[in-house]
Amino acid sequence: MSKKSFSALFEAAECHDEYWTERAIIEFTEALSRWMEAKRVSRAKLAAAIGVSQPYISKVLKGNRRQRRPPGIEIPGYRQPSHPGLSPGQGRP
């Protein structure tokens, strides 16, 4: 097995949809966490405001499993992460 540099490994990973999916999940959870801290919104308060359970919010923030944003929920100041050089549906060679 040949040794690869980290940059070569990341370059290879960026060719896969899974990389971009995981990156979007991480970016979303980080943005949500920063927003909650800045606005001093607790998990329970956010859950009540958007009509989900507090454990659901905890799971989203921990990234334990993939969560879909409930329909109609918008997070102020959050924008969809962009994927440099990729259009929707692209990613695999």
Number of Cβ atoms within 10 Å of the Cβ of 84 = 5
70 belongs to a structural domain: no
Structural domain that includes position 43: 7-62
pLDDT tens-digit readout, 32-68: 999 999 999 999 999 999 888 999 899 888 876 555 5
Q: Tell me what pLDDT residue 3 has.
A: 67
17 belongs to a structural domain: yes
Structural domain count of the chain:
1
pLDDT band at residue 77, thresholds of 50, 70 and 90?
low
pLDDT tens-digit readout, 3-37: 678 888 878 888 888 888 888 888 888 999 999 99
CA–CA distance, 61 with 30 (Å, rounded to integer): 8
Q: Long-range contacts made by residues 53-59, C-beta under 8 angstroms, separation at least 24?
A: none
What are the angstrom distances between the C-alpha of 35 and each of 24, 28, 30, 42, 58?
Answer: 16, 10, 9, 11, 15
